[in-house]
Amino acid sequence: MKVLVAVKRVVDYNVKVRPKSDGSDVDLANVKMSINPFCEIAVEEAVRLAEKGIATEVVAVSVGTKQCQEQLRTALALGADRAILVETDESLEPLAIAKCLKAVCDEESPDLILMGKQAIDGDNNQTGQMLSALLGCSQATFASELSVDDGKAVVIREVDGGLQTLELSLPAIVTSDLRLNEPRYASLPNIMKAKRKPLDVKTPDDLGVAIAPRVTLLGVELPAERQAGIKVEDVAMLVDKLKNEAKVI
């Protein structure tokens, strides 16, 4: 079974981003970039399927600038077999990314596509669902458990009320939630080995995909700051303040 796993290059989760001084966009100059944490979980799940002998090949795919090769090398170091970069300098929206991934899927015909449930930059939570629509295949978002057997994927999903179990016929798209697994660290020998694994580069034009943006970013701003309040001495004072000052209990 062939598994395709999508990875996105994003601002590292430890970085607190700020708007540019003119408020046109967030300031990403000289900021540390990493693989999106949810994508890392998806890569880990793909590699575990390979280690169990269920996946025969794991292909990592990214859509973005030339620098995305760094994140693809990370995926290769974690255990993916080869990588594909759809290279473009254009700013990309989920629908455009889904269309590029659709074109790659048409060429690669994977049985299972693993992705993160959302990227921590745009917080869109859309690309997996959109790719699934374009491919006309089944989907399970917010996965916390995945098993694949006999041409079917059984997925436990984290939903608002608790947990939901779905059975999907393959090919299927599964997007990872936080608790799907805990990703491993790449070992130094594997990082060295990853440098020699194949990495193909294509462009949206090669794939015949139009990626023009549909949404215009008019500006960004900081959210309203919350002021710190007061420290109370003890529980009695806290209860008094809540009853008589804030009047919330």
Partner 1 sequence: MSILVIAEHDNSSLKPATLNSVTAAQAIGGDIDILVIGSDCQGAAEQAAQVAGISKVLVADNAAYGHQLAENVAPLIAEVGAAYSHLLATATTTAKNILPRAAALLDVQAISEISAVVSADTFKRPIYAGNVIATVQSTDAIKVLTVRGTAFDAAPADGGSAAIEAVASAHNAGKSEFKGEEVAKSDRPELTAAKIVVSGGRGMGNGDNFSMIYSIADKLGAGVGASRAAVDAGFVPNDMQVGQTGKIVAPDLYVAVGISGAIQHLAGMKDSKVIVAINKDEEAPIFSVADYGLVADLFTALPELDTAL
Residues 44-83 that bind partner 1 (CB under 8 A): none
Q: Which stretch binds partner 1 (CB under 8 A): 43-51, 80-88, 184-192, 208-216?
A: 208-216
Q: In 3D, which of 135, 74, 75 has the Cα closest to residue 106?
A: 135
Contact indicator for 92, 64 with CB cutoff of 8 Å: yes
We find the least distance from the C-beta atom of residue 241 to partner 1, in angstroms, to be: 6
Residue 33, phi then psi, degrees to nearest 5: -110, 150
Considering beta carbons, is residue 80 or 96 the nearer one to partner 1? 96
Interface with partner 1 in residues 7-36 (CB under 8 A): 11, 16-19, 26
We find the least distance from the C-beta atom of residue 51 to partner 1, in angstroms, to be: 23
Residue 230, phi then psi, degrees to nearest 5: -115, 160
Interface with partner 1 in residues 82-111 (CB under 8 A): 93-96, 98
Instruction: Give the β-pairing of 152-159 and 112-116.
Output: unpaired
CA distance 34 to 56: 27
How far separated are the first and last CA of the chain, in Å rounded? 58
Helix (H, G, I), strand (E, B) or coil at 128: helix
Residues in contact with partner 1, shown as a per-residue x/- string from 120 to 159 under the rule CB under 8 A: xxxxxxxx-xxxxxx-xxxxxxx-x---------x--xxx
Q: Which amino acid is at 194?
A: A
Q: In 3D, which of 99, 92, 63 has the Cα closest to residue 212?
A: 92
Q: In 3D, which of 194, 185, 200 has the Cα closest to residue 73?
A: 194
Q: In 3D, which of 116, 156, 108 has the Cα closest to residue 6?
A: 116
Q: Which stretch binds partner 1 (CB under 8 A): 47-55, 60-68, 196-204, 234-242?
A: 234-242
Considering beta carbons, is residue 168 or 207 the nearer one to partner 1? 168
Considering beta carbons, is residue 80 or 115 the nearer one to partner 1? 115
Q: Which stretch binds partner 1 (CB under 8 A): 49-57, 61-69, 188-196, 227-235?
A: 227-235
We find the least distance from the C-beta atom of residue 79 to partner 1, in angstroms, to be: 23
Q: Which stretch binds partner 1 (CB under 8 A): 55-63, 79-87, 195-203, 218-226?
A: 218-226
Interface with partner 1 in residues 152-191 (CB under 8 A): 154, 157-169, 172, 177-179
